Chains A and B, each alone.
Chain A
Amino acid sequence: QKEVEQNSGPLSVPEGAIASLNCTYSDRGSQSFFWYRQYSGKSPELIMSIYSNGDKEDGRFTAQLNKASQYVSLLIRDSQPSDSATYLCAVIANRDDKIIFGKGTRLHILP
């Protein structure tokens, strides 16, 4: 089992709809979780960080964390074409304090 798993996509979502991106992780003791957005040919930029179970909202973005089920998700409301990018899930592994990135999910917002 890979340490951080994401569906590589592409995930196609109509403009204005909700995009739902999911990530699972294997290290049960992990405490810190991040979502990064990476446009093609560009570097990652932090979208959200989440540390506690539940939801965290920031504008059109909501991160959801469920430590018991070991998954973290990102919801993007009112999707815009500019949201088309690869979304990387990252987890700080508890056992060795390392950051582990998933492969990323490619999101395509259909105009």
Chain B
Amino acid sequence: GAGVSQSPRYKVAKRGQDVALRCDPISGHVSLFWYQQALGQGPEFLTYFQNEAQLDKSGLPSDRFFAERPEGSVSTLKIQRTQQEDSAVYLCASSLAASRWVNEQFFGPGTRLTVL
């Protein structure tokens, strides 16, 4: 079956532009995670969904970041008024269980965002 997919794979934005990053999790996976990975760093947790409910958004770095998963499947991470420090790879991961750390997380290929 298909794995986690993300689009676009690459995004270049001018500073101040808004961007929307999409994640299609594995079908039937309850839990969905967003991470930000800067160059040379490990992924940093941004937010977590259980179905359509956003149960943890404590990792979102500012109120310019917003995530949603309205039907409990596809998720979108939106960044408003992008800044250069937002440049990173944004990873989406999904897992089968509702309990967020119980099952293996499967990562998508990521979206590399470059803000000029």
Contacts and interface: CB of A to CB of B under 8 A. Distances in A.
A101 B109 contact: no
A43 B51 CA distance: 23
Given A32-B101, A92-B101, A99-B101, A45 B107 contact: yes
Determine the interface band of chain A, counting residues with CB < 8 A from chain B.
20 to 34
A50 B71 CA distance: 33
Determine the interface band of chain B, counting residues with CB < 8 A from chain A.
10 to 19
Interface stretch (B11-19, B38-46, B73-81): B38-46
B45 A44 contact: no
Is chain A's binding surface mostly helix, strand, loop or mixed? strand
Contact of B109 (A43, A49, A98, A102): A43
Interface in B29-69: 40-45, 58-59
Contacts of A92: 101
Contact of B108 (A4, A8, A43, A104): A43
B101 A103 contact: no
B44 A101 contact: yes
Contact of B42 (A46, A97, A98, A101): A101
B104 A43 contact: no
A42 interface: yes
B40 A43 contact: no
Contacts of B43: 44, 88, 101
Contact of B107 (A4, A43, A102): A43
Nearest to A6: B42
Interface of B: 40-45, 58-59, 91, 100-101, 104-105, 107-110
